[in-house]
């Protein structure tokens, strides 16, 4: 079960629930994957609703890896993510928010 106070987000893929978390290592991998821009730019794109499917995929992969997943982005190309692209984008936005919001 994901712990939102620890920055975790639950994401169901192919019927299996995974815990996602943007750890420092996952964030570094995310920066390398995105190649250009910064994480601040990425947060701004999500806040403005101007994110791309590549942004969502990169965030989901980074979050899954931060949660201990050993797969590759290509493993998700045919995966059934709960609530489809909207569910993936929602989880990605939650990961970003939880990674950059101090606990209450």
Here the contacts of 40-44 (C-beta below 8 Å, separation 24 or greater) are 42/96, 43/96, 43/100
57-84 average pLDDT score: 95
What tokens were used for 100? Answer: 């950059």
Q: How many domains does the chain have?
A: 1
According to DSSP, the residues that pair with 81 across neighbouring strands are 13
Average pLDDT, the chain: 90
Residue 102, SS3 per DSSP: coil
Expressed as residue numbers, the domain containing 91 is: 4-100
* Proportion of the chain above pLDDT 70, given as a percent: 96
What tokens were used for 17? Answer: 């629930």
- How confident is the model at residue 46, as a pLDDT? 85
- How confident is the model at residue 5, as a pLDDT? 86
String of b and e for 48-74 (b: at least 16 CB within 10 Å)?
eeebeeebbbbbbbbbbbbbebeeeee
For residue range 20-56, what is the model confidence (pLDDT) as tens digits?
999 999 888 888 888 767 788 888 888 888 888 998 9
| Residue 53, CA distances (Å) to 1, 27, 50, 90, 92 in order | 26, 18, 10, 12, 11
């Amino acid at each position: 079960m994901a712990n939102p106070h620890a920055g975790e987000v639950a994401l169901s893929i192919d019927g299996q629930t995974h815990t996602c978390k943007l750890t420092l290592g996952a964030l570094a991998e995310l920066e390398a994957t995105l190649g250009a821009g910064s994480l601040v730019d990425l947060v701004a794109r999500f806040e403005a609703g101007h994110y791309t499917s590549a942004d969502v995929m990169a965030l989901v992969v980074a979050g899954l890896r931060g949660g201990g997943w050993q797969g590759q982005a290509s493993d998700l190309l045919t995966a059934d993510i709960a609530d489809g692209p909207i569910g993936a984008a929602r989880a990605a936005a939650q990961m970003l928010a939880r990674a950059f919001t101090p606990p209450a």
